[in-house]
Amino acid sequence: MERYFEKISFEQFKKDIKDDKKLYEEYKLPERKTKNSAGYDFLAIEDFELAPGEIKKIPTGYKVKMQPDEVLFNFVRSSMGFKYNIRLTNQVGIIDSDYYNNPDNEGHMFISLQNEGDKVFKCHKGEGYAQGIFVKYLTCGEEVKTKRIGGTGSTNQERNDKNE
């Protein structure tokens, strides 16, 4: 099985971002900038600004398909932390493989940024503002039968799938 990023559907885009087919068609999927880059840069769909102290939830327009034993860790781009003191509000975003195509939001990933600096941070359309890194993980061998039933925060909800 491969891993890949894809755009959310236009219907989800309209719900989460805006009803703009041209904007939907022109934004780009995450990309690695160099041959040895670990991270896939998340690129801004539109210009945005963060004032000092401001928190903003940024829609990526992406969902990600990956293997069951993989996770996507999301981080702020390191240059933004060093130069502007921009942080992810959750420090590290964790996207589980079963977040893909969940019934709440198709697996649409959001990045929540906070400006802890003393000047306005500006990100222009097409510029990188976060990065995702795929990692394989190990488990202790326990059998977990609970399945994801929603989007962000849904692993706190319990539902055993009787059909497995």
pLDDT band of 154, cuts 50, 70, 90: low
- What's the whole-model pTM score? 0.86
- The domain segmentation of the chain, as residue ranges, is 4-137
pLDDT digits (tens, 9 = 90+) for 8-26: 999 999 999 999 999 999 9
Question: At the fourth CATH level, which superfamily is domain 4-137?
Answer: Deoxyuridine triphosphatase (dUTPase) (2.70.40.10)
Residue 163: pLDDT above 50? no
Per residue, the 3-state secondary structure of 16-71, as one string, reads: HCCCCHHHHHHCCCCECCCCCCCCEEEECCCCEEECCCCEEEEECCEEEECCCCEE
